Structures are given as structure tokens and as C-alpha cells.
């Protein structure tokens, strides 16, 4: 989705010899937001709420949107190393981090490698761990539109979802989704959307306050994964929202924002 230039400040920075597009909004304690596998969805209400007292920093992952692909980044752990370098070079360590779906997996990989780079970590229905029950939904056997529809439990009661994805799909939106799917396939195809070593490595993440947020009716990443993450990350908290799918930040925006503000405070 296109961003509103009145709400975001866009900046291009150099990291590891390549350009990285950063979107920023607000003032205060910085929060790094790592977007999902279909790219940054656009300006949402929860962004606006958080930006009242935080500086929201949202990079467009290499290969997504305006950020060019980085050829040596061949998996999610490599991408984590790229962002670890970005945080160091921009003097943002330690920073609060919020990761959504594949972005949650990315944050978890970064924490497993170096938990000290984060102050607090929020993982929203992350991929990265194989479900003990059920399967992570296959992004590549359905259209991007069908995948998006599956991320919401009750679209009729979620007007912000219609605002984001309602109406006819433009050629530009189709191209952005297909580019995102191609890069996601390159990074997370085999094994699909998980890393067998992530769970065991997360057991070494000690002392990093972590909040897990999940929708009980998530059709993309089964809620059974939530318990594995909670068990793997010592001291982590789990919030499961009822009547909610894979996008609690949209479908249960008020509850999501309340949990986020309380935790980051």
C-alpha cells in the first residue's frame, strides 16, 4: 500500500553497501517495526497511536518495496545479520522491536543471535517454528488476495481491513505483492517458513522482556506455535485474543494497542 507522506518521513540509508528505505513517524523512544511477508501494508491506526510517544522506524526489507534485493542475504538469519549491522551503524542498540509474521521470525532470529541489541521484543503471530498441530498456511498455493483474506477472522467487523485491501486491486499493488512473494520464496521456501534450529537457540535468550500476541482463530500461523515460542523464550508473556485471526493489530486494534503500550512503557 502507498504510504501517506504527511504521516511518514521516508529516508534512504546505506547499510552494508546497499540502499535501505526507512519510514519513520513520531517522536520519543525508538521502536523498530519489522513487516510481514507481503510487505508493509500501509499506515494503520496502531502506528498512529504508537507514534504519539515513540519514534516508529519501519524499514522496507531488502527486495521489498523500494529497497533493492541484497544477493548475499539468502535466508531469514542472514537478513537478521543485515539488520543487526544496520542497528549498530545507526546507533540504535538497544532498541524495542515489533515483528509481524515473517517479521516476527526475523526479530526472533536476531534475538537468538544477540539478545542485547533489543530492549523489549514483541512478536505478533510469528512464523519461524514448525507448528506441533496444524500447518503454516502456504503463501504460494493461493493468490495474494486469497492469502490476505485468510489473515482476517471477521472481515465484516474490521473496517480497517477493507480500507487497506478493499476494492479492485491496482496493477501496482499486484506487482508489489508478487515481488514480495518472490523475495519471501527466496528467503523462506526450504524449509517452508520455519527454521528447525530457532526454538532451541531461543532457549538461550535470557533477560529479554518478550510479549507474544496471537489471534485465537489464526488460519496462517496456528496458535499451537504460540505455546512453543512461549516455552522457548524464558519469561515471555503470551496474549491470545479471541475472535481474531492473523492480524490482531487490525482486527483487535484497541486491545492490541493497549497491550503494546503497556508492555513498551
Is position 54 within any domain? yes
3-state DSSP call for residue 49? helix
pLDDT at 5 over 60: no
Q: What are phi and psi of 262, to 5 degrees?
A: -60, -45
Is position 187 within any domain? yes
pLDDT at 2 over 50: no
Is position 1 within any domain? no
Q: What is the CATH number of the domain that holds 150?
A: 3.40.50.1820
Kindly tell me the sign of the dihedral angle through the C-alpha atoms of 232, 92, 180, 253: positive
Is position 3 within any domain? no
Whole-number Å distance between alpha carbons of 227 and 215 = 13
Is position 111 within any domain? yes
Q: What b/e readout covers 204-240, taking b as 16+ CB neighbours within 10 angstroms?
A: ebeebbbbbbbbebbbbbbbebbbbbbebbeebebbb
**Helix (H), strand (E) counts: the chain:** 10, 8
- Tens of pLDDT along 78-133? 999 999 999 999 999 999 999 999 999 999 999 999 999 999 999 999 999 999 99
Domain interval for residue 201:
9-264
Is position 113 within any domain? yes
Is position 4 within any domain? no
Out of 117-121, 149-153, 168-172, 260-264, pick the least confident.
Answer: 168-172
Select from 233, 251, 231, 232 the least CA-distant residue to 241: 251
Concatenated DSSP letters of 101-142: THHHHHHHHHHHH-GGGEEEEEEES--BS--SSS----TTSS
Can you give the pTM of this predicted structure? 0.96
State the pLDDT confidence band at 167, using cuts at 50, 70 and 90.
confident
State the pLDDT confidence band at 158, using cuts at 50, 70 and 90.
very high
Q: What are phi and psi of 253, to 5 degrees?
A: -55, -45
- Tens of pLDDT along 18-58? 999 999 999 999 999 999 999 998 889 999 999 999 999 99
State the pLDDT confidence band at 166, using cuts at 50, 70 and 90.
confident
Select from 69, 55, 74 the least CA-distant residue to 11: 55
Task: Please name every residue paired with 54 in a beta bridge, in sequence order, or none if there are none.
Answer: 29
Is position 2 within any domain? no
Select from 84, 43, 39 the least CA-distant residue to 60: 39
Residue 263 CA to chain centroid, in angstroms? Answer: 17
Q: Are 202 and 233 in contact (CB under 8 A)?
A: yes
- Tens of pLDDT along 186-238? 999 999 999 999 999 999 999 999 999 999 999 999 999 999 999 999 999 99
Q: Residue 168: what pLDDT? A: 77
Label residue 133 exposed, middle or buried (CB < 10 Å: 0-12, 13-18, 19+). exposed
Q: Residue 1: what pLDDT? A: 39
Q: Residue 6: what pLDDT? A: 53
Number of domains in the chain: 1
pLDDT at 161 over 80: yes
Amino acid at each position: 500500500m502507498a504510504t501517506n507522506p504527511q504521516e511518514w518521513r521516508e529516508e534512504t540509508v546505506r547499510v552494508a553497501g546497499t540502499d535501505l528505505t526507512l519510514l519513520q513517524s513520531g517522536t520519543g523512544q525508538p521502536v523498530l517495526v519489522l513487516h510481514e511477508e507481503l510487505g508493509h501494508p500501509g499506515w494503520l491506526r496502531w502506528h498512529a497511536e504508537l507514534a504519539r510517544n515513540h519514534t516508529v522506524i519501519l524499514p522496507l526489507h531488502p527486495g521489498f518495496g523500494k529497497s533493492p534485493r541484497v544477493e548475499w542475504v539468502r535466508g531469514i538469519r542472514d537478513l537478521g545479520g543485515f539488520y543487526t549491522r544496520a542497528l549498530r551503524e545507526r546507533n540504535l542498540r538497544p532498541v524495542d522491536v515489533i515483528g509481524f509474521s515473517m517479521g516476527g521470525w526475523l526479530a526472533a532470529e536476531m534475538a537468538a543471535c544477540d539478545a542485547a541489541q533489543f530492549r523489549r521484543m514483541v512478536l505478533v503471530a510469528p512464523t519461524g517454528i514448525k507448528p506441533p498441530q496444524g500447518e503454516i498456511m502456504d503463501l504460494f498455493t493461493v493468490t495474494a488476495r486469497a492469502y490476505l483474506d485468510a489473515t482476517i477472522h471477521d472481515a465484516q467487523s474490521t473496517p480497517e481491513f477493507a480500507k487497506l485491501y478493499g476494492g479492485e486491486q491496482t496493477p501496482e499493488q499486484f506487482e508489489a505483492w508478487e515481488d514480495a512473494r518472490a523475495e519471501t520464496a527466496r528467503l523462506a521456501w526450504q524449509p517452508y517458513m520455519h527454521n528447525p534450529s530457532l526454538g532451541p537457540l531461543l532457549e538461550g535468550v535470557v533477560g529479554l522482556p518478550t510479549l507474544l500476541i496471537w489471534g485465537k482463530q489464526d488460519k496462517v500461523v496456528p496458535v499451537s506455535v504460540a505455546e512453543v515460542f512461549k516455552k522457548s523464550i524464558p519469561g515471555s508473556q503470551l496474549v491470545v485474543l479471541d475472535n481474531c485471526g492473523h492480524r490482531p493489530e487490525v482486527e483487535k486494534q484497541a486491545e492490541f494497542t493497549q497491550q503494546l503500550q503497556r508492555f513498551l512503557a
